[in-house]
Amino acid sequence: LGLSGPPGAGKSTFIECFGKMLTERKHKVSVLAVDPSSSTSGGSLLGDKTRMTELSRDMNAYIRPSPTRGTLGGVTRTTNEAILLCEGGGYNIVLVETVGVGQSEFAVADMVDMFILLLPPAGGDELQGIKRGIIEMADLVAINKADGDLVVPARRIQAEYVSAMKLLRKRSKVWRPKV
């Protein structure tokens, strides 16, 4: 599964919860988390592993943070090979967290079985802020943080995306992206 979304959408938190649920069901889960690199030093904070503390201690989970090192598309130059290595190593579920969201951060969509766009419920003008390119590639749009005071905004954004996705050209004859 490939996951992308804007900063603050809760990608790492979602992956930790989802990953824990999967390992409790006896799956072996690998997380390939891609972080942006500094344009001056080439380095990266690689903070995703520190935000997934419970999952990082799980013996049935493996988390590998990697810097982009200038590669465009939201993934690293070797993400596809890393997915294959994880599968070969016995991990039956591989989650790839991309750098973030934009018009071109969907290269992972061609590497995975399902591409999920994770969105927060209250970020302003959502349809304006998320670019068409990434929406067209999404197999699933998940509105995250949809609880408490954010239930109503989450339902509104869900309706907006359902309407917007009806205007997009179908990529598959059998699957209609869900929101």
- CA-to-CA distance for 52 and 43, rounded, in angstroms? 20
Q: Classify residue 172: in a domain, yes or no.
A: no
Is there a contact between 29 and 64 (Cβ–Cβ < 8 Å)? no
Q: Classify residue 122: in a domain, yes or no.
A: yes
Q: CB-hemisphere CA count at 13 Å for 2?
A: 27
Q: Classify residue 82: in a domain, yes or no.
A: yes
CA-closest candidate to residue 122, choices 162, 164, 157: 157
Number of domains forming the structure of the chain: 1
Q: Classify residue 72: in a domain, yes or no.
A: yes
Q: Classify residue 175: in a domain, yes or no.
A: no
Q: Classify residue 31: in a domain, yes or no.
A: yes
- CA-to-CA distance for 63 and 51, rounded, in angstroms? 11
Global pTM value: 0.82
DSSP string covering 10-73: -HHHHHHHHHHHHHHTT--EEEEEEEPPPTTT-----THHHH-HHHHT-TTEEEEEEE-TT-SS
DSSP-assigned beta bridge partners for residue 64: 32
At residue 14, the pLDDT reads 94
Kind and range of the H or E element at 140?
strand 140-143
**What is the sign, positive or negative, of the torsion defined by CA atoms of 33, 88, 108, 168?**
negative
At residue 44, the pLDDT reads 44
Q: Classify residue 176: in a domain, yes or no.
A: no
At residue 17, the pLDDT reads 95
At residue 102, the pLDDT reads 54
Is there a contact between 47 and 35 (Cβ–Cβ < 8 Å)? yes
At residue 68, the pLDDT reads 62
At residue 167, the pLDDT reads 81
**Per residue of the chain (179 residues), what is the pLDDT tens digit?**
999 888 788 888 999 999 999 999 999 999 998 876 555 555 445 555 567 889 999 999 999 887 665 555 456 677 888 899 999 999 999 999 886 655 455 567 788 999 999 988 876 555 544 566 777 888 999 999 888 999 999 999 999 888 888 887 777 888 888 99
- CATH label of the domain that carries residue 162: 3.40.50.300
**Domain range for residue 91?**
2-167
At residue 154, the pLDDT reads 92
Q: Classify residue 174: in a domain, yes or no.
A: no
